[in-house]
Amino acid sequence: MEGSLSLWLFAAICLLLMLGFPVAFTLAGVSLAFAAFGVIAGAFDPAFLAAFPGRLFGTVTNTTLIAVPLFIFMGVILEKSRIAESLLTNMSRLFGGLRGGLGLAVVLVGMLLAASTGIVGATVVTMGLLSLPSMLRGGYNPSLAAGTICATGTLGQIIPPSIALVLLGDVLSTAYQQAQLNLNIYNPKTVSVGDLFIGALIPGLLLVGLYLLYVLVVAWLRPAAAPVVSREHVPLRDVLASLLPPLLLITVVLGSILVGAATPTEAAGVGAVGALVLAWIKRELPLERLQAAMQDTLKITCMVFMILIGAAVFSLVFRGFGGEELIHGFFTGMPGGVVGATLVVMLVIFLLGFILDFIEITFVVVPIVGPILLMMGLDPIWLGIMIALNLQTSFLTPPFGFALFYLRGVSPPELPTSAIYRGVLPFIIMQLLVLAALWIWPPLATWLPAAIKG
């Protein structure tokens, strides 16, 4: 009975989330209701919930998670100070004389914006508001314009410093240590958020390269779909003035992590202060915008940590009902061994990406399946990048992808939803190709972290 109750718990939570109930309170409330029923029925030991204060204290004292509000603040400041808007304007003028030039500018600026905000929704909405009207006015095919913006917006899932990678790295670090202890390895190896950042660089840049190549090919084969927008001459000085500050900031943040000069949390502090300095230099951050940026940071951070607390309650109740043993027995007895288990996990995570955001999947699903897969011999960095890319593809896939809903919310009424769906299909194929390449050749994710450590 206990094992089946854990599955009913998971199903009930998914159902209520699909109905639109708040994630954090659904996780905690439904779990506690099932725990109460389990205690009455004699199927749940309340001692499991006694571990909750320790979990909560561990979250509060986790220095890695301090990077979350700092990276969020960095991204919000760059958005509120209109640095991203200035960058897109000047890049569009620079490439405007080329066929497909505006599309190239959108991809490049989207990459930089993804690296600075690290949040898919924020990147898609910002790029939709800034670039979609310009692309449509310039005569771009609506599907190409919508697909390019959606795809570049989801780069925030994989381009470091991504909030998703920060949270995923912290969860996988715990799962990796747990897996090694379960294998009676009492001097466990560690994996850090910085390792995940480094491992994501090559797959992320490979995706950006494929997006740029696709826009160029479309512009060459179908000139009417990606026409020349403007032949206006733009001084190189203006472009460099808008490009170099955010690029320098991102380089300092990532570079300090790559060379080992700073932890992700310390680098996030540098990024937050650097964003404030850039905004002050541009004189584009009056007091009301600064207040709005701080309020947005507070709201997003509270949402993340409330979900983390709700997920901790769910995890304890799920374990108390024997859910972990049930999942472990299912995977170890599956035909195909580790390959079959990994394929099933990736499929489940892909489907859950339609109804759950990356935060819920990271805090709820990964702690359940992560230790089991890592005990079967998978590399934690490779697994983390595969999960991030998988979720990125899920967020882009019709009809339920989150990125599609974000763009639909800020796009003009004359842009049909079907055009958005058609536009993302080529980009989904490109992401699946990168996923397949990473599956076939894991060093795409693992070689750079090993080389830097070596």
**pLDDT of res. 1:** 52
| Residue recorded with tokens 């450590």 | 453
**pLDDT of res. 435:** 94
Residue 39 backbone dihedrals phi, psi, to 5 degrees: -65, -45
Task: Please state which of the ranges 17-31, 232-246, 289-303, 336-350 shows the lowest mean pLDDT.
Answer: 232-246
CA 113 – CA 84 distance, rounded (Å) = 7
Written as six digits, the tokens of 428 are: 């989904």
Please tell me what DSSP assigns to residue 401.
-
Q: What's the angle, vertex CA 306, arms to CA 75 and CA 56, rounded to 5?
A: 115
Give residue-wise pLDDT tens across range 68-88: 888 888 888 887 887 777 777
pLDDT tier, 118 (very low <50, low <70, confident <90, very high otherwise): low
Q: How many CB atoms lie within 10 A of CB 204?
A: 26
Question: Does the pLDDT value for residue 186 go beyond 80?
Answer: no
Residue 328 in 3-state DSSP? helix
Q: Give 335: exposed, middle or buried? Use CB within 10 Å, 0-12, 13-18, 19+.
A: exposed
Mean pLDDT of 127-137: 82
Written as six digits, the tokens of 35 are: 């725990």
**pLDDT of res. 213:** 95
Query: Contact, 94 vs 239, CB < 8 A?
Result: yes
CA 425 – CA 268 distance, rounded (Å) = 34
Mean pLDDT of 178-202: 83
**pLDDT of res. 2:** 53
Please tell me what DSSP assigns to residue 154.
G
Largest CA distance in the chain: 76
Mean pLDDT of 120-129: 76
Question: Does the pLDDT value for residue 26 go beyond 70?
Answer: yes
Query: Contact, 156 vs 410, CB < 8 A?
Result: no
Nearest partner of 157 among 197, 109, 114, judged by Cα? 114
CA 55 – CA 216 distance, rounded (Å) = 50
The ranges assigned to domains in the chain are: 2-453
Mean pLDDT of 148-159: 86
Mean pLDDT of 257-265: 82
**pLDDT of res. 205:** 92
Question: Does the pLDDT value for residue 119 go beyond 70?
Answer: no
Written as six digits, the tokens of 315 are: 């995890």
**pLDDT of res. 208:** 93
